Structure 1
Amino acid sequence: MIKFLPFDTSLFGYRVGKLQLGRCLPDLDRVHNQAKNFDLIYVMGKPGLVKLGGWSPISTRVDLVKNIIKSDFIKDSSLHNEVEISEMIISGELSQTDQKDLRELVFTSGQWSRFKQDLLLGNQEYEKLYSTWWETIKEQNHSVIVARISGKLVGFITFKLLRGRGHVDLFAVKGSEQGRGIGRQLMYKVFVKLNSLGFNLIGLSTQKANKRAMEFYKNIGFQPIKETLIAHWRPGLKPQNIN
């Protein structure tokens, strides 16, 4: 029932597992016996089931999809012309300035991450995870679109092809530059690139609590298709309805 996660365990330095809930609650006595071997367990499932099991949620992940249509290729004339949007070649050497700016943007992209929001995580889990995520993106040669103003990186978006559609991994705009349409320009470039490759469906995930992101995706045509409630369970704390 509880799946051991070797990657997270190695990265964080303690035993991590995952409990994916199905249509009904599992045998909770068996779950608790298994849980004794773990320091942290991600409990994931439909909101009603997670709450019924007594686990305290840390976040709600929302999966969204969008069909890319002709109107998505019409550039908004109100967007700032001073912003330069281009695809970054990440297989080569990046300047120290670009490396620093990208690192800041990677961490900005995860500000609403459950690993950032969980105040009980104190082993730099968030920093370790997002640093590793970026390294994986480079190794697997995902597409990276960046935004620059006067040569300085102010935003980026990464995506890959996954099961017949595009999938956005990381997406962020520098705080001081948000609200200027840069995110929309980055996404426009992704739409164009995917269409040129013959793909017209794109998906991504975000946190429901991130109201600004949810509104942004809604405004450009993304539709929510699934919500997953996630709890971070420390096995020493039993669900409230368990004797």
Structure 2
Amino acid sequence: MSLTSISMYCELTKPHFENFQHLITLLKEKSIFFETISISARSDEGKNFEYDSVEDLKILSNDNIYDYNIHISFQDDAKINLMKSANIHKQQFQQLTSEKIEHKMKIEEIMSVLGLNKEIDKEIKYKKNVFIAYRFDDTGQYCADQIATFLRLMGFNVLTGRSYSPQSISNKVKERMDKQDIIIVIHTNGEEITWLTQETLLGSVKKTLIILKQQGANFKPGILNDFEYIEFIDRNIQTTFIPILEGLNELNIKF
């Protein structure tokens, strides 16, 4: 069975947009005939643009273009798609996909024409280490225990700020956060005061955050309220398991 679709993560360098016409010509020589192109883009200011001609690709060379999607259709359902976007953790990525073309032109050849390089570190960036930040009350502890058990069964090393250490709470929590690659935040309702220490630290650490928010809980202004979150109702933290796996999959973590 022949390969019909292949994708490659590329380094975040600017493609040679002027070479798309040359790519279309090369594919025509291999009997892959161009039909249509659709281009969507968004600027740093949040303005959206849409175009439908190869000549319009030069607009994407502007420095104020934040993300874009270039979709080229050929006869017999062959396609090329180049997308620059951001995942749920606001980390940018660039991905090239070809469909029903690999038998005539390898994706590495397409990348070469467009001046793109494979992103080498995509699969080795994150280790299976997680810190769980949560409120140290009954609901917070229950939710943290459920998430910790789930992650350990998936092969993760899990730390929290709960166990005793002969130092200040802030130093203990920060030290443990620094050891882990990923932080899962469980934000529940309540007044338990050690949560304030953890929440303040979360605003300063440079780690990937996955935020689980109990319905009705409010973030402290200016710290976590700009992040996307996975919501759950009451103590039904198990409903977040699949979205957590989806987020970890975006980080290319293998299970």
TM over 0.5: no
TM-score for the superposition, normalised by structure 2: 0.25
